């Protein structure tokens, strides 16, 4: 905190005395470049002030800049990046005042040598991507090690990403901190929250670039708040190590995200069941209650796949135990759940009860896996079980040890795991007599606690932000080893850049009010474009009790978000989809059914995401960067490229305005009305309706309602074709779990639409969901004749009310369907 104020004060000082650094500032600049060493891919510079810089290409579209004020570089290691950072050759020119690096595709970096180093990155067309602000040269604090850099800012440039922020969709003119924090009941605007993802995508005039500041200490971004003409970032210490993603020749956000996730990893395809509806609360207090809930879902025919067991399933909150009184037969309970098509997820916190009678605690101590105080003693802090010790997840042996602890739970039949409290969060110690604030320093480990740092031991200040991610990693890697044939479901509250390699993320302790519902869209879309595809918010709002209307609207809004779970706090009223009365129950069921009808599409998007890094949930600007009308839309989202969702997020509203992005036309899912791109239209949204639109030209797989994903295998698919434009779509099918899909055990179906109908390319079916029909939505009237591979189709139905034309396929060998007027 101190350092921050310090740097900000220095900046404010700079504003007053623009000519030179004021004497009051403890910040020092680097000084002129004195020595240059070049290699095939980078330049290494020494400055008059004793700093070292290295600038080079990672790929022809990605630049890496490193600066260490202390004259030498740290170990080149990153928790965000798996393996070594790639390097790409550059053509380097060194003249008297300037250096220039040019990549294979023409992107360039120019480095001015005097009076201070100033770096400008250009795209292949010669346009400036990122430029150091010469008025605010890169600087450091020689006393405490803080570092910072400022870039010039264009007036209309917008910034997205930054992981998990309770802020409006674009973060221009915002100041944001990065320090993983347990912030229950956070108000919109609260910063920081649980996750640290120091990456953003900029958008100006239809062109994008990205910046990733890879520093695990407390860091900050000032995106033009102090001065609209510049933005900057810095950290309390460490290196100034950052990447500039130029976005390639097209300068698209998709290219930026592809390159960022090529570096930091991509979320793997989850097991199909994890995309079903999930029901949670803190806590279902007994085995019997859990079974009652499961039965109710099946009896009321509300589809669901997963039930969560929060902290009360444990014996005195000791992780990896069961409460013998309330959960006396966990195996039987889990077996019964499985028999009904449910999967179960249990919570696992990092705190291990300091209790000599608890074998896991003793084992951990004997193996020296716990975090230590500065004096070398075992760190103890209070959390749910009382005083606890905490595995040091930056120690490989601790990760391995912790990962193996999941064996017993898996053997019992638990299917997935939920890592909470891993910011890490702690309770205030006994006798604490200061005000308890959301960001109080007592809420985590002391900054000088000792971590192994995967070979570079260091204080908590350095490793705090990766603690949660490394816990999720321990869980993920443990599960992969223990059940190599199954895809893990891990859910984590805290994380750092790259967390997507291990886990889904939920947005923590949100609240049961309308502003929080509205906030889910900017929060989840920004997390998505921060490289994390599997994201969700507690449906209904964790803290407090939603009205029936709020819960229903929330369920609808969340029905097509990647991670779809109702969850609530311990003191909240029951919150299952049926508790608000018959009318709401009917509407809530329909919202969940919609999810299941579209699940084959959603699943396919996850398969695509593993390959491309593109998230299933997308903000409008990301898909339509050239449409200025789309850039600040934060009450709508896209699912993949083909579905546009416009939930009602305000109380009492039964109509809402929907913006249709330019360049495509959109067909109303419910009544097939066509809307042209670039228009803003009032849409009816009675309580029972989620405004939903499909892009003309797109084809998406849909299925009949199933009660859980286990029923999908025998559920035949319908390809829903949004008529009115040419287009080609593809979707993916496989076994729904395991890794066969990485060895070719999957198929990709391609549907191509033109003026006369569709062409189908359906590879041989090796046990996947059968395709039984093609349904055209958005055609004005029934065609005079429908032909399948040249012959009149036998089974054709036109529903005049929904304007859907359904054509049954005699078999999967069909190649072409023609609609003749």
Sheet bearing 175-178, strands edge to edge: 28-29, 139-140, 147-152, 230-235, 219-222, 175-178
Q: How far is the CB of 495 from ligand MIG (least distance, A)?
A: 13
Residue count of the chain, please give it.
821
| 509 annotated active-site | yes
Q: Which of 241, 420, 608, 627 is the catalytic position?
A: 420
Cis status, amide bond into 424, omega within 30 of 0: yes
| Neighbouring-strand partners of residue 128 | 122
Among the listed residues 678, 718, 724, 674, the one whose alpha carbon sits nearest the alpha carbon of residue 697: 724
| 420 annotated active-site | yes
Q: How far is the CB of 182 from ligand MIG (least distance, A)?
A: 7
Told to check if 563 binds ligand MIG by CB under 6 A, we report no
SS3 content of the chain, % helix, strand, coil (to 5): 25, 30, 50
> Is the separation of the CB atoms in 140 and 28 below 8 Å?
yes
Told to check if 641 binds ligand MIG by CB under 6 A, we report no
Q: How far is the CB of 198 from ligand MIG (least distance, A)?
A: 23
Q: Which of 392, 423, 627, 668 is the catalytic position?
A: 423
Q: Classify the C-alpha dihedral 73-79-80-84 as positive or negative.
A: positive
| Neighbouring-strand partners of residue 818 | 757, 787
Site string (420-459) toward ligand MIG, x via CB under 6 A = xx--------------------------------------
> Is the separation of the CB atoms in 270 and 262 below 8 Å?
no
Site string (520-549) toward ligand MIG, x via CB under 6 A = ----------------------x-------
Told to check if 310 binds ligand MIG by CB under 6 A, we report yes
Exactly one of 272, 311, 398, 817 binds ligand MIG (CB under 6 A); that residue is 311
Total residues contacting ligand MIG by CB under 6 A comes to 11
Nearer to ligand MIG, 426 or 609 (CB): 426
Told to check if 282 binds ligand MIG by CB under 6 A, we report yes
Q: How far is the CB of 475 from ligand MIG (least distance, A)?
A: 16
Q: Which of 141, 239, 509, 734 is the catalytic position?
A: 509
Nearer to ligand MIG, 161 or 508 (CB): 508
Nearer to ligand MIG, 78 or 323 (CB): 323
Q: How far is the CB of 383 from ligand MIG (least distance, A)?
A: 8
Cα–Cα distance, 26 to 147 (Å, whole number):
11
By three-state DSSP, how is residue 465 classified? helix
Told to check if 516 binds ligand MIG by CB under 6 A, we report no
Cα–Cα distance, 201 to 580 (Å, whole number):
41
DSSP states of 712-733 as a string? GGGSPEEEEEE-SS-EEEEEEE
Q: How far is the CB of 56 from ligand MIG (least distance, A)?
A: 41
Cα–Cα distance, 807 to 719 (Å, whole number):
10
Nearer to ligand MIG, 118 or 537 (CB): 537
Nearer to ligand MIG, 311 or 479 (CB): 311
- The 3-state secondary structure of 317-342, one letter per residue: CECCCCCCCCCCCHHHHHHHHHHCCC
Cis status, amide bond into 493, omega within 30 of 0: no
Residues numbered 397-426 forming contacts with ligand MIG, rule: CB under 6 A: 420-421
Nearer to ligand MIG, 116 or 420 (CB): 420
Q: How far is the CB of 433 from ligand MIG (least distance, A)?
A: 21
Exactly one of 41, 132, 509, 634 binds ligand MIG (CB under 6 A); that residue is 509
Those residues whose C-beta lies under 8 Å from the C-beta of residue 375, and which sit 6 or more positions away, are none
Cα–Cα distance, 754 to 818 (Å, whole number):
10
In angstroms, the Cα distances linking 598 to 205, 537, 643, 703, 719 are 34, 19, 10, 7, 11
Beta strand 306-309 with 343-348 is: parallel
Nearer to ligand MIG, 258 or 353 (CB): 353
Cα–Cα distance, 161 to 177 (Å, whole number):
13
Told to check if 493 binds ligand MIG by CB under 6 A, we report yes
Q: How far is the CB of 274 from ligand MIG (least distance, A)?
A: 17
| 94 annotated active-site | no
Nearer to ligand MIG, 122 or 308 (CB): 308
Nearer to ligand MIG, 185 or 812 (CB): 185
Exactly one of 508, 522, 613, 691 binds ligand MIG (CB under 6 A); that residue is 508
Exactly one of 294, 347, 398, 550 binds ligand MIG (CB under 6 A); that residue is 347
Phi/psi of residue 736, nearest 5 degrees: 90, -10
Q: How far is the CB of 508 from ligand MIG (least distance, A)?
A: 5
Footprint on this chain of ligand MIG (rule: CB under 6 A):
282, 310-311, 347, 420-421, 493, 508-509, 542, 567
Active site residues: 420, 423, 509
């Amino acid at each position: 905190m101190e350092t921050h104020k310090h740097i900000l004060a220095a900046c404010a000082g700079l504003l007053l005395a623009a000519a030179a650094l004021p004497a009051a500032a403890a910040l020092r600049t680097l000084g002129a470049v004195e020595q240059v060493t070049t290699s095939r891919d980078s330049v290494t510079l020494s400055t008059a002030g004793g700093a070292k810089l290295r600038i080079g290409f990672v790929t022809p579209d990605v630049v890496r800049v490193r600066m260490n004020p202390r004259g030498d570089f740290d170990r080149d290691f990153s928790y965000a990046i798996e393996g070594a950072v790639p390097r790409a050759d550059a053509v380097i020119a060194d003249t008297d005042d300037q250096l220039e690096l040019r990549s294979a595709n023409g992107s360039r970096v120019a480095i001015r040598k005097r009076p201070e180093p100033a770096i400008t990155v250009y795209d292949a067309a010669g346009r400036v991507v990122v430029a150091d602000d010469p008025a605010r040269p890169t600087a450091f604090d020689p006393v405490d090690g803080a570092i910072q850099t400022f870039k010039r800012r264009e007036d209309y440039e917008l910034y997205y990403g930054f992981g998990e922020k309770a802020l409006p969709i674009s973060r221009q003119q915002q100041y944001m901190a990065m320090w993983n924090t347990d912030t229950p009941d956070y108000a919109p605007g609260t910063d920081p929250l649980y996750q640290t993802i120091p990456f953003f995508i900029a958008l100006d005039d239809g062109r994008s670039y990205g910046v990733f500041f890879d520093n695990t200490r407390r860091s900050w971004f000032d995106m033009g708040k102090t001065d609209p003409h510049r933005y900057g970032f810095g950290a309390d210490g460490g290196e100034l190590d950052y990447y500039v993603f130029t976005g390639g020749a097209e300068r698209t956000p998709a290219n930026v995200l592809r390159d960022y996730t090529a570096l930091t990893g991509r979320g793997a395809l989850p097991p199909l069941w994890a995309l079903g509806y999930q029901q949670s609360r803190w806590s279902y207090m007994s085995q019997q209650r859990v079974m009652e809930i499961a039965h109710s879902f099946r009896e009321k025919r509300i589809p669901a796949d997963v039930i969560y067991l929060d902290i009360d399933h444990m014996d005195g909150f000791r992780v990896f135990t069961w409460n013998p009184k309330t959960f006396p037969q966990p195996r039987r309970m889990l077996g019964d759940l499985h028999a009904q098509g449910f999967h179960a997820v249990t919570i696992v916190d990092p705190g291990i009860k300091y209790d000599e009678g608890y074998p896991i605690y003793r084992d951990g101590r004997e193996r020296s896996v716990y975090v230590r105080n500065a004096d070398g003693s075992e760190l103890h802090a209070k959390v749910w079980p009382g005083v606890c010790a905490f595995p040091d997840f930056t120690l490989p042996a601790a990760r391995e040890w912790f990962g193996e602890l999941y064996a017993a739970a898996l053997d019992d039949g638990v299917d997935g795991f939920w890592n909470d409290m891993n910011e890490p969060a702690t309770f205030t110690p006994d006798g604490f007599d200061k005000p308890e604030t959301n960001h109080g320093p007592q809420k985590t480990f002391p900054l000088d606690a000792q971590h192994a740092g995967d070979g570079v031991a260091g204080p908590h200040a350095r490793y705090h932000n990766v603690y949660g991610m490394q816990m999720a990693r321990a869980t993920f890697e443990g599960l992969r080893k223990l059940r190599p044939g199954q895809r893990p479901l891990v859910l984590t509250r805290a994380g750092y850049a790259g967390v997507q390699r291990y886990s889904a993320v939920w947005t923590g302790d949100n609240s049961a009010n309308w502003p929080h519902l509205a906030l889910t869209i900017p929060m989840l879309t920004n997390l998505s474009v921060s490289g994390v595809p599997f994201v969700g918010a507690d449906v209904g709002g964790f803290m407090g009790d939603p009205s029936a209307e709020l819960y229903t609207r929330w369920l609808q809004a969340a029905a097509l978000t990647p991670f779809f779970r109702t969850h609530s706090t311990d003191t909240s009223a029951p919150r299952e989809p049926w508790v608000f009365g018959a009318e709401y129950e009917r509407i809530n069921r329909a919202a969940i059914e919609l999810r299941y009808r579209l699940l084959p599409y959603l699943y396919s998007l996850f398969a695509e995401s593993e390959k491309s890094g593109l998230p299933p949930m997308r903000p409008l600007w990301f898909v339509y960067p050239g449409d200025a009308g789309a850039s600040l839309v934060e009450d709508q989202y896209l699912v993949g490229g083909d579905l546009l969702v416009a939930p009602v997020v305000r109380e009492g509203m039964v109509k809402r305005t929907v913006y249709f992005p330019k360049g495509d036309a959109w067909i109303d899912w419910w009544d097939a009305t066509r809307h042209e791109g670039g228009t803003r239209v009032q849409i009816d949204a009675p309580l029972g309706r989620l405004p939903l639109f499909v892009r003309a030209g797109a084809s998406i797989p849909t299925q009949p309602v199933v009660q859980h994903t286990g029923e999908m295998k025998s559920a035949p698919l319908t390809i829903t074709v949004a008529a009115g434009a040419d287009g080609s779509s593809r979707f993916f099918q496989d076994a729904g779990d395991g890794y066969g899909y990485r060895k070719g055990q999957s198929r990709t179906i391609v549907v191509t639409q033109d003026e006369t109908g569709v062409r189908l390319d359906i590879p041989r079916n090796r046990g996947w969901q059968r395709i039984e029909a093609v349904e055209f939505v958005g055609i004005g009237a029934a065609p005079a004749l429908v032909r399948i591979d040249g012959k009149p189709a036998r089974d054709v139905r036109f529903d005049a009310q929904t304007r859907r034309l359904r054509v049954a396929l005699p078999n999967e060998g069909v190649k072409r369907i023609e609609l003749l007027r």
